[in-house]
């Protein structure tokens, strides 16, 4: 959904899924304001339960997920007021089976498509809900039915709608369901990674790339056939940040003793264009803007040159495991300690435009910009809405 708002807010945009409309961490929104001294105006706040689930916003509705008292809850809130419209809860492990209670709650962001909301739990349960009413269209535990192994910290990839299919990071090369019925169309065994499926087109071939525990792999979404694979091992088998694309090249990055690389797929292989340790994304995926790769390098905001992998600049610490997105040639960061930071997306130098404390607690989830408002949450379940519309 795109809508004109005011002379200064030239273009507003929804954020219907993980990492935005194009699933690349970039919003098409323009004209929003970063001209605030003590922080943007807080419109509302809400409590949604423990978790790392980011927010999807379509029109005047916001969708997210949280955990409390042995249950996950999918929330539909009024994006303008924060008032609940509907919620749907189901029994789910809070995280004690997946790395401890300190990491509890759902990881995946709801995906909104065609009047439905698709969600995946930490246990590999998947459901389709009516976006207007919250009524269950279908639901099933896909991980149990396919026999796929669970990553150590549970299933984390946000569902991808690809045509009539729902693509999931369940199994070493993913799983696909019929999005209308939930029927399994194709599946894979083994253990997947924590990244979300990333769609792209190469020539005439539509493909989806995702991380398993030990490699990055691209598959034909129609049948799950592997198109190419590149080994990528880390300590503890943690591949969490998504593959991101620049033309025919793909950038990958992982922490836990690894680093980053630019790959050029050809046939059933991927040639390494360059590889180094200058960017180590723990689980926050980088963004590509203006020929630069901007990302969280083990707690420090950094920019690499896309063509060479050379470091362009590195900012002071303080980002922690926080996340970032981009819009209107600016980066929007939420630090681990709950600071909202706006930085110019300039590969030539670090230029901070604004900074304000907006949340307490642990903030690992990237912020969301939608229709002139920034939404951000903490692991503890505090969700805030900030007005950044141009005046």
Pick from 157, 131, 115: nearest CA to 76: 131
Query: What is the pLDDT, as a whole number, of residue 372?
Result: 96
- Domain ranges for the chain, please list them: 1-48+317-363+365-391, 52-194
Calculate the alpha carbon distances from 374 to 49, 174, 201 in Å: 19, 32, 30
Q: Report d(CA 289, CA 176) in Å as an integer.
A: 31
Contact (CB, 8 A) for 103 and 96: no
Contact (CB, 8 A) for 38 and 54: no
Pick from 128, 107, 120: nearest CA to 53: 107
Residue 155 in tokens: 């299933």
State whether residue 143 is helix, strand or coil: helix
Query: How many residues can be counted in the chain?
Result: 391
Residue 107 in tokens: 């990881």
Calculate the alpha carbon distances from 95 to 52, 53, 64 in Å: 12, 14, 17
State whether residue 102 is helix, strand or coil: helix
Residue 278 in tokens: 């200058």
Q: What is the DSSP letter of 106?
A: -
Contact (CB, 8 A) for 170 and 146: yes
Count of beta carbons in the 10 Å neighbourhood of residue 291 = 12
Residue pLDDT, tens place only, 336-391: 999 999 999 999 999 999 999 999 999 999 999 999 999 999 999 999 999 999 76
Identify the residue whose tokens are 């940040």: 241
The answer for residues whose C-beta is within 8 angstroms of residue 110's C-beta and 6 or more apart is: 17, 53, 56, 63, 64, 65, 74, 117, 118, 119, 158
Query: What is the pLDDT, as a whole number, of residue 37?
Result: 83
The answer for residues whose C-beta is within 8 angstroms of residue 61's C-beta and 6 or more apart is: 76, 77, 78, 79, 85, 131
Q: What is the pLDDT along the chain (391 residues), one digit of tens a residue?
A: 333 344 444 578 999 999 999 999 999 999 999 998 889 999 999 999 999 999 999 999 999 999 999 999 999 999 999 999 999 999 998 877 886 667 899 999 999 999 999 999 999 999 999 999 999 999 999 999 999 999 999 999 999 999 999 999 999 999 999 999 999 999 999 999 999 999 999 888 999 999 999 999 999 999 999 999 999 999 999 999 999 999 989 999 999 999 999 999 998 999 999 999 999 999 999 999 999 999 999 999 999 999 999 999 999 889 999 999 999 999 999 999 999 999 999 999 999 999 999 999 999 999 999 999 999 999 999 999 999 997 6
Query: What is the pLDDT, as a whole number, of residue 42?
Result: 97
Query: What is the pLDDT, as a whole number, of residue 55?
Result: 98
Query: What is the pLDDT, as a whole number, of residue 317?
Result: 85
Q: What angle do CA 335, 337, 340 make, to 5 degrees?
A: 45
Give the largest Cα separation in the chain, rounded.
Answer: 54
Q: In terms of CATH architecture, what is 52-194?
A: Beta Barrel (2.40)
What is this structure's pTM?
A: 0.96
Q: Report d(CA 326, CA 105) in Å as an integer.
A: 26
Pick from 204, 232, 231: nearest CA to 220: 204
DSSP string, 202-250: ETTEEEEEEEBSSEEEEE-TTT--EEEEEE---GGG---SPPEEETTEE
């Amino acid at each position: 959904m795109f809508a004109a708002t005011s002379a200064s807010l030239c273009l507003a945009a929804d954020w219907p899924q993980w990492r935005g409309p194009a699933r690349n961490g970039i919003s098409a929104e323009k004209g929003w304001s970063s001209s605030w001294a003590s922080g943007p105006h807080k419109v509302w706040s809400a409590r949604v339960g423990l978790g790392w689930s980011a927010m999807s916003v379509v029109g005047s509705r916001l969708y997210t997920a949280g955990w409390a008292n042995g249950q996950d809850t999918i929330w539909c809130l009024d994006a303008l007021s924060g008032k609940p419209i509907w919620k749907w809860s189901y029994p789910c492990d809070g995280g004690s089976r997946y790395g401890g209670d300190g990491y509890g709650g759902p990881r995946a962001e709801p995906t909104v498509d065609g009047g439905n909301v698709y969600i995946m739990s930490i246990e590999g349960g998947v459901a389709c809900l009516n976006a207007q009413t919250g009524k269950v269209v279908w639901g099933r535990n896909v991980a149990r039915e396919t026999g796929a192994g669970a990553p150590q910290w549970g299933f984390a990839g946000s569902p991808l709608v690809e045509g009539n299919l729902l693509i999931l990071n369940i199994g070493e090369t993913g799983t696909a369901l019929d999005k209308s019925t939930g029927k399994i169309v194709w599946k894979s065994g083994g253990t997947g990674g924590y990244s979300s499926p990333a769609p792209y087109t190469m020539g005439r071939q539509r493909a989806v790339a995702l991380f398993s525990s030990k490699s990055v792999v691209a598959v034909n979404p129609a049948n799950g056939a592997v198109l190419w694979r590149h080994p990528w091992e880390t300590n503890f088998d943690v591949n969490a940040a998504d593959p991101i694309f620049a033309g025919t090249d793909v950038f990958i990055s992982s922490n836990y003793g690894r680093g980053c690389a630019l790959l050029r797929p050809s046939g059933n292989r991927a040639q390494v264009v360059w590889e180094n340790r200058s960017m180590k994304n723990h689980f926050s995926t980088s963004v590509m803007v203006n020929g630069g790769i901007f990302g969280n390098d083990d707690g420090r905001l950094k920019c690499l040159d896309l063509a060479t992998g050379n470091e362009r600049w590195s900012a002071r610490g303080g980002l922690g495991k926080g996340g970032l997105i981009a819009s209107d040639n600016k980066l929007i960061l939420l630090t681990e300690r709950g600071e909202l930071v706006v930085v110019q997306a300039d590969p030539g130098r670090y230029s901070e435009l604004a900074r304000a404390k907006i949340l307490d607690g642990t903030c690992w989830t990237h912020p969301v910009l939608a229709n002139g408002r920034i939404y951000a949450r903490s692991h503890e379940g505090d969700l805030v809405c900030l007005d950044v519309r141009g005046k």
